[in-house]
Structure 1
């Protein structure tokens, strides 16, 4: 082993731990955002127009507080993705690279989609007190973005699950729940036309996938913190 390789190992291990903490931090941020918004009455899919107007007319402070968490969440998601890609490349050169990049692309695209979604929420807060018709249009856009984002979450889940498993980073159960969450998220995205036109209960498919995604994220973070590239797992 060369001196260069020896000196690179501590840096790689340090970034792996950092990216693992970023995964847990990202999961924490997105859960906190929902803990703030849901009890305040954030409308669900299929909500009545008057409920949407009432929430966005009166809860701008809550909306602002939850939105303040999102820049940190996006930064943490990016660091996590970079760490997962690095772990796959370090552990299995030439095997996990392409799938890990698919996963990283999914994370970047979900960041971009949620940037638009947060912007739409601010537009809703501005329009709701004055124009119910405009509010209805923005709400449909909001729901469409939220549901279609399942496509990118599915890409992140599949890409990082396959690369993580091939690299010996993920256990079988971890890979299994990642694929289940990906299937649920992609199904929800496919059903977007129904979800935004009154079949709001179908959004529970995406919600279930999202909850599994949070568990998958935290478990992935723990694996990155504890990762030893030379050791495979069952």
Structure 2
């Protein structure tokens, strides 16, 4: 084997690893959201009696969702760090965007951590209650506010990652527009943190953006794995 072939083998291996991380993250997110949807989690605008009943009856569903969050964080950071490595291998095209994506991903990890902790707090506060209390309502509203900040950080991460992979010609052109539109929707929703914490339906502005993140991850993962085949 020639020495010139070694960098190509390493690049293919790294693309395969990054693609696999993207697919694993997308799969974990799908399972996480399916668990919450199956349990029919209340919206942030739901009456507190409904919120209390859900957390009293579906502690297991919340445990699954929060537990998967612990898996999502290393998958997310590994994927973004891998993208940074691919950029360096390909001559640095998109280097600025890759640095922004990794920084935004670190902020996103912290926001997701806060979101998960406050959801755990909601379950613990709800345990044994016979009716809603001001403390339960406060923790639930903080949980909603944390999710709004998650949308802001995730929107920034998606935009930066989409521009990174486009600059490095790692993804199809349509994926850049998917990332820009999806990320923009999540940033717009995240700017309404206070209304969302109070139950505003502005939260749903960001939901198509979240769906775009899942589609972008799947498409990127498949493309990178196929490129390395």
The counterpart of 1:107, out of the listed 101, 105, 108, is 105
1:223 Cα offset (Å) = 2.4
2:47 matched to which residue of 1?
A: 48
Task: Give the match's secondary structure for 1:79.
Answer: helix
Residues in 2 aligned to 1:21 and 1:117: alpha-carbon distance in whole angstroms: 26
1:99 Cα offset (Å) = 0.7
1:142 matched to which residue of 2?
A: 143
Task: Give the match's secondary structure for 2:198.
Answer: coil
Alignment of 1:17-56 (within 5 A): 17-56=16-55
Write out the 4+ residue segments of structure 1 that deviate beyond 4 Å after TM superposition. Answer: none
RMSD: 1.7
Alignment of 1:194-209 (within 5 A): 194-199=195-200, 201-209=201-209
Where structure 1 has 5 or more consecutive residues not aligned to the other structure, the ranges are 229-234
Do 1:110 and 1:152's aligned partners in 2 also have CA atoms closer than 8 Å? yes
Residues in 1 aligned to 2:68 and 2:88: alpha-carbon distance in whole angstroms: 31
1:225 matched to which residue of 2?
A: 225
1:151 Cα offset (Å) = 1.6
How many residue pairs align between the two structures?
Answer: 224
Residues in 1 aligned to 2:223 and 2:80: alpha-carbon distance in whole angstroms: 13
2:214 matched to which residue of 1?
A: 214
Task: Give the match's secondary structure for 2:199.
Answer: coil
Bigger mean CA deviation after superposition, 150-159 or 209-218: 150-159
Do 1:92 and 1:166's aligned partners in 2 also have CA atoms closer than 8 Å? no
Do 1:84 and 1:224's aligned partners in 2 also have CA atoms closer than 8 Å? no
Alignment of 1:162-173 (within 5 A): 162-173=163-174
1:162 Cα offset (Å) = 1.3
**Alignment pair present for 1:121 and 2:119:** yes
Task: Give the match's secondary structure for 2:41.
Answer: coil
Where structure 2 has 5 or more consecutive residues not aligned to the other structure, the ranges are none
Residues in 2 aligned to 1:220 and 1:156: alpha-carbon distance in whole angstroms: 14
Residues in 2 aligned to 1:227 and 1:86: alpha-carbon distance in whole angstroms: 16
**Alignment pair present for 1:180 and 2:181:** yes
The counterpart of 2:94, out of the listed 96, 115, 126, is 96
Residues in 2 aligned to 1:105 and 1:223: alpha-carbon distance in whole angstroms: 24
1:83 matched to which residue of 2?
A: 82
Residues 53-81 of structure 1: per-residue CA shift (max 9 Å, x gap): 11112211221122222222111112211
1:8 Cα offset (Å) = 3.6
Alignment TM-score, normalising by the size of structure 1: 0.89
